[in-house]
A and B are shown apart, each in its own frame.
Chain A
Amino acid sequence: NAGVTQTPKFRILKIGQSMTLQCAQDMNHNYMYWYRQDPGMGLKLIYYSVGAGITDKGEVPNGYNVSRSTTEDFPLRLELAAPSQTSVYFCASSEQVYSYNEQFFGPGTRLTVL
């Protein structure tokens, strides 16, 4: 049981380039989330999904896109990378639990845009 996995671990992009951050979970969780963590700050929600084919915007969605074709995978697409997107990106998943939804986090992807 690998939990939540993310690739790549590190990436440097030039301004204007595009890339996809991969996220996969093997816990059969319906809910998946993408957060970004800027230096010295807490995490902010970018996009989330409640199941295959259903996604919605979070707090800071501009410059990103997502898709969810399977329960396991939730890739995050960056189009036209900008220096403001330099951050650490975390994918998380959770299941519907009556009292709370503990979110399980992946190891993160550190992205630098130059």
Chain B
Amino acid sequence: AQKITQTQPGMFVQEKEAVTLDCTYDTSDPSYGLFWYKQPSSGEMIFLIYQGSYDQQNATEGRYSLNFQKARKSANLVISASQLGDSAMYFCAMRGPDLIQGAQKLVFGQGTRLTINP
């Protein structure tokens, strides 16, 4: 069964510093996908970045990049030049096994609460 582990319950970073949020995963499926979502205090889930297991390069989206180390089964999120607005919960998720007719559930980790200090 798929499992996502986020070992950092909370992180505190100074504004403008880079920050790395850890995520390790476990799966026996050779084809999988990894997502990062941001959940601000308002509660909504905001998609940040995606990495497919067969993607040759690490995914990047603006200030977000994903440090994908397949052999170590890790998919860490790197936020460059952090901003006060980056303070939020961050969830790593894995595309789970296929459900009926192509539906795919997401398996989530417990999240990391990131606080950016001015």
What residues of chain A have their CB less than 8 Å away from a CB belonging to chain B?
31, 33, 35, 40-45, 48-51, 54, 56, 58-59, 88, 90, 92, 94, 96, 99-108, 110
Contact = CB atoms under 8 A, between A and B. Distances in A.
A51 B42 CA distance: 30
Contacts of B43: 88, 107-108, 110
Q: Which one of B37, B50, B101, B106 has the greatest number of beta carbons of chain A within 10 Å?
A: B106
**Interface residues of A: mostly helix, strand, loop or mixed?**
strand
Nearest to A48: B103
A42 B105 contact: no
Given A44-B108, A102-B35, A102-B50, 16 more contacts: A31-B102, A33-B105, A35-B106, A40-B110, A41-B111, A42-B4, A43-B91, A45-B106, A48-B103, A58-B99, A90-B45, A94-B104, A102-B47, A105-B37, A105-B44, A107-B44
A105 B45 contact: yes
Contacts of A35: 106
A113 to B, nearest CB: 18
A41 to B, nearest CB: 6
A101 to B, nearest CB: 5
B44 A42 contact: no
B108 A56 contact: no
Contact of A42 (B100, B102, B110): B110
Contacts of A106: 44
A108 B44 CA distance: 7
Contacts of B4: 42
Contacts of A44: 108
Contact of B50 (A40, A49, A90, A100): A100
A103 B106 contact: yes
Contact of A56 (B45, B47, B99): B99
A41 B104 CA distance: 20
A99 B91 CA distance: 21
Nearest to B100: A56
A54 B110 contact: no
B93 A42 contact: yes
